[in-house]
Amino acid sequence: MIRTAFMLLVCGLAMAFGTAVPAMAQKQGKPTPPTAAEEWPSIEGKWHVLMGHEADKNLVDRPEYKKSVVTISDKQLQWSAADGKSLFSAACTWKLVASPQWEVDLTPEGGSPEGATLPGIATLFDKDILKISWRRKNLEKGRPTKFNGGVEQAYLLLSRQPLGNPPAKPDLVGEWQLLTVLDDANDKFGRGRGTSVATFEADSFAWKPTKQGVKFGGGYTLDHSTRPTRIKFNINVPPPGSGATPTPRDGFVAGVVEFLDEDTVQLCYRESGWRESAPQESRYPQGFFSDGDMNMWIFRRPKP
């Protein structure tokens, strides 16, 4: 009887271990990426436009594009003004490449070039943030590989949630999630999802593209007497006069900043194109956009 009880115990342990191993292996492995059918509901539907960049300009700076929305189906992309007027409409097809990356082809209705199919890309950057970019000129170059709002491409940054009201007393202090970082109208995050953060203290800031270190940082002051609010950076990382695009030797970088709502901010600053002999007043950007001289960020407070 003792031998029988011992054998039953051994068999029970073996069965328990045998069922635990697959569960442990499954827990330790990478999760299975979603199929197109599983991810598509996160893309279709109504989106609110945070930025619409093309030809080195942010269209949302224009009154008719403010509070505009994009509605997506598997056959149509419709960009509409707040009053319902059509801003852009195109037939479209979508193909999941590898989550979160999609390919999208758009055929504008009455757009330019007439009847042409514009190859594009899309990424579900976060559960409530979608990026779409398509080639609008030089179509022979094929599908773009980057999110870009320069001469040849259009780039939409979309939020599932509408913007609220700007705060009565804007306060930058805290950690912010970068949604897009445009340099020469090119999104430096590429096609994947980013973990880049910017941290603002009362009089200093640091941009960390990754957790490894600070890429851009120093002190800052705000001037709320202007519209939009001016931000005066005193850069010390990289050291003044150094960097891939050398910062001014006096460390002064001029920018403008605007709260789109309580938790969402856009920032534009002059990266290059200044003359150090010129008055500092002339360095401030006139609007929120990115070109050969201006960089633009959009960031928000981290979501839970």
Please write the tens of the pLDDT for every residue from 174-189: 999 999 999 999 999 8
Q: Report long-range pairs for 218-223 (Cβ below 8 Å, ≥24 apart).
A: 218/251, 222/170, 222/172, 222/257
Backbone angle region of 181, left / alpha / beta, with phi > 0 → left and psi within -120 to 50 → alpha: beta
d(CA 296, CA 303): 21
Q: Does the pLDDT at position 88 exceed 50?
A: yes
Token couple for 296: 């633009």
Q: Of the ranges 128-132, 162-166, 270-274, 283-287, which one carries the lowest mean pLDDT score? A: 270-274
Rounded average pLDDT over 244-263: 86
pLDDT of residue 24 exceeding 70: no
- Specify the residue for token string 């030809």: 55
Note the CATH number of domain 37-159: 2.40.128
Report pLDDT for 268. 97
Rounded distance between C-alpha atoms, residue 70 and residue 258, angstroms = 22
For the cut 60, the answer to whether the pLDDT of residue 26 exceeds it is no
What stretch(es) of the chain map to CATH 2.40.128? Answer: 37-159, 174-300
b/e 120-132 (16+ beta carbons within 10 angstroms → b): bbbbbbbeebbbb
The rounded radius of gyration (Å) of the Cα atoms in the chain is: 24
Per-residue pLDDT averaged across 57-84, rounded? 97
What pLDDT score does 155 carry?
98
- The pLDDT score that the predictor gives to residue 25 is 43
Mean pLDDT on 286-300: 95
Task: Output 180 or 15, whichever has higher pLDDT.
Answer: 180
Please give the CATH number for the structural domain made up of 174-300: 2.40.128
Task: Count CB neighbours of 186 within 10 A.
Answer: 18
Give the mean model confidence (pLDDT) for residues 159-186. 94
The partner residues of 194 in beta bridges, in order of sequence, read none
Query: Helical H runs in the chain?
Result: 2-28, 36-39
What pLDDT, on the 0 to 100 scale, is given for residue 190? Answer: 79
| pLDDT reported for residue 39 | 94
From the list 282, 231, 238, the residue with the least C-alpha distance to 259 is 231
Q: pLDDT category, 208, cuts 50, 70, 90?
A: confident
pLDDT of residue 205: 95
- Asked if residue 253 has pLDDT above 80, the reply is yes
